[in-house]
Amino acid sequence: MGAHRWSSARLGFVVCGYFAFFCGEIVSRAEAGCRERESPNCCSGRNNECFEYSKRKTVCYCDTYCQKTGDCCEDYQRVCQISAAIDCVVGSWGPWSSCTSPCGVGSTERSRQVSIPPRNGGTPCPDLKQRRGCFGNNAICSTAKEVAKILPDSFKRNFKDPWRRPHMLMKEEKASYCVYLRVKQASAACKLKLWSAQLVKERLVCAECQSDAMSKSDRCGGDGLESIRTFWAAASVPGCHGSWVKESSSLGCRCPAYSVLFV
């Protein structure tokens, strides 16, 4: 009888011990996760210090970044009140822009807009702009390739020819015009003559187009394009050449002294 009593008591002790252990495991597992962290329970962005232990006693995280790495604590969604991650969604590409250079090598780009921004650790947006090279071949390119031939204004063309016979027809004289150009480059040979030595970088030069130098289109060859670099060469100074950019022009005018003429 006593032995039976001892056996029953031992069995009850063992059962109670297992029950206590089982209950303890349930309690400890129920309490594992973000809820057990000291304030704050949850962290934004990526924070390697924002961790706790899972039910399996492994490290889990309570920061927003854990949604990407898949190592959030099991109660993360509930405790941190975070909805599911939303990936970025972008629209279709727009058209390519015109080439930055109307003549020669340039670049063009296109863009697209964000339709749905990323939230809650979702995939970030891809590139919203693309750029590629291009080669401009505008209608004005042929003009841009013209090289202006210039002389000092001492070679005034509009003079009376003493050898002209009275019965010879006079050529129709067209109104001259002035072009103001900003010198961008000049070769070293330009320093050899006094008039061409004035053609230095960033100097504003007035070039006059007189009637005899005009082509059938009533303009002088190489008279430039606004905001586009074109080229010139000094007709009386071998090796003197450079580039300039047209800034403005004026009809029916005369350039001041020490200017240049289109040939």
189 and 252 in a single domain? The answer is: yes
Domain enclosing residue 101, as ranges? 91-137
Would 190 be classed as within a structural domain?
yes
Mean pLDDT of the chain: 80
Where residue 31 falls among pLDDT bands split at 50, 70, 90? Answer: low
Q: Above 90 in pLDDT, residue 89? A: yes
Encoded tokens for 120: 């809650």
147 and 232 in a single domain? The answer is: yes
Would 191 be classed as within a structural domain?
yes
Percentage, residues of the chain above pLDDT 90? 37
Round the CA-based radius of gyration of the chain to a whole number and report it: 43
Say what the pLDDT of residue 78 is. 83
CA nearest 245: which of 185, 178, 182? Answer: 182
Say what the pLDDT of residue 21 is. 42
Where residue 245 falls among pLDDT bands split at 50, 70, 90? Answer: very high
For residues 82 and 76, the answer to whether their CB atoms sit within 8 Å is yes
Q: What does pTM read for this prediction?
A: 0.48
Q: Which residue has the higher pLDDT, 196 or 167?
A: 196
Tokens 């029916």 appear where? Answer: 252
Q: Above 80 in pLDDT, residue 259? A: yes
3-state helix, strand and coil shares in percent for the chain, rounded to the nearest 5: 20, 30, 50
153 and 250 in a single domain? The answer is: yes
Q: How far apart are CA 183 and CA 159, in angstroms?
A: 29
Residues 215-232 have a mean pLDDT of 84
Domain count, the chain: 3
CA nearest 244: which of 200, 191, 214, 197? Answer: 200
- pLDDT tens figures, 13-30: 334 444 444 444 443 444
Where residue 135 falls among pLDDT bands split at 50, 70, 90? Answer: confident
Where residue 136 falls among pLDDT bands split at 50, 70, 90? Answer: confident
The pairing of beta strand 129-137 with beta strand 177-186: unpaired
- pLDDT tens figures, 109-120: 999 999 999 887
152 and 252 in a single domain? The answer is: yes
CA nearest 179: which of 233, 216, 223, 130? Answer: 223
CA nearest 66: which of 100, 95, 37, 92? Answer: 37
Would 26 be classed as within a structural domain?
no
Residues 147-171 have a mean pLDDT of 67
44 and 118 in a single domain? The answer is: no
126 and 77 in a single domain? The answer is: no
Q: Which residue has the higher pLDDT, 176 or 217?
A: 176
Residues 19-43 have a mean pLDDT of 62
Say what the pLDDT of residue 168 is. 53
For residues 221 and 262, the answer to whether their CB atoms sit within 8 Å is yes
CATH code of the domain containing 130: 2.20.100.10
Q: Above 90 in pLDDT, residue 200? A: yes
Q: How far apart are CA 90 and CA 94, in angstroms?
A: 12
Residues 6+ apart with CB under 8 A from 208: 153, 176, 177, 178, 179, 253, 254, 255, 259, 260, 261, 262
- Most confident range (mean pLDDT) of 2-11, 17-26, 100-109, 150-159 is 100-109
Q: Which residue has the higher pLDDT, 42 or 85?
A: 42
Give the rounded distance of the alpha carbon of 198 from its chain centre: 38
Residues 96-119 have a mean pLDDT of 89
For residues 168 and 207, the answer to whether their CB atoms sit within 8 Å is no
- H or E element that contains 104: strand 103-111
Q: Above 90 in pLDDT, residue 215? A: no
Say what the pLDDT of residue 97 is. 94
Residues in the chain: 263
Instruction: Indicate the residue type of 192.
Output: L
